[in-house]
Amino acid sequence: MPNVRATPMATPGASAADTYAALTREQWRNYVSTFVPIENQLIEYATDRNRPAQEMAQASELVQDAYQAQEGVTSRRLRGLGLSLTGEEQAAQQRSSGLSRALADVGAQNMARDLTVQRQQSLLGNPAPATAQVGLTGG
């Protein structure tokens, strides 16, 4: 037989006001036990000033890992084909890879920061999208 919990309305001889009060208390206990911990996590996330920097660091780490993996794949592919790069070709490849890696790293960090700040602001009740600051220069 399933475990059946007595509801506040099941109390015999209780007045409507007592039943309503018991129901309200039960709903409050349920809210506090179920939703308050989730709300506290969201509040902690939304007010954490270090969160954008943490997300930027994680994005940078993921980009670096991806580029290292790709360099390994490229190296193995060249060896599998029996090819090797000259010193000049290696320098050009490293320069190109370095520029691409730096661009991807900065882009990923900027995107991670912007999305994190936007998510934090949305949780705090500011759903307005962030606008780009445009500087005016005199000519």
How many angstroms separate the CA atoms of 24 and 20, rounded?
6
- At 128, the pLDDT band (50, 70, 90 cuts) reads low
Q: CB neighbours of 105 closer than 8 A, spacing ≥ 6? A: 60, 63, 64
pLDDT tens track for 10-57:
567 779 999 999 999 999 999 999 999 999 999 999 999 999 999 999
pLDDT at 125: 87
Mean pLDDT of the chain: 87
User: Per the structure block, which two tokens stand in for 20?
Assistant: 């309503």
| pLDDT value, residue 134 | 46
pLDDT at 136 over 80: no
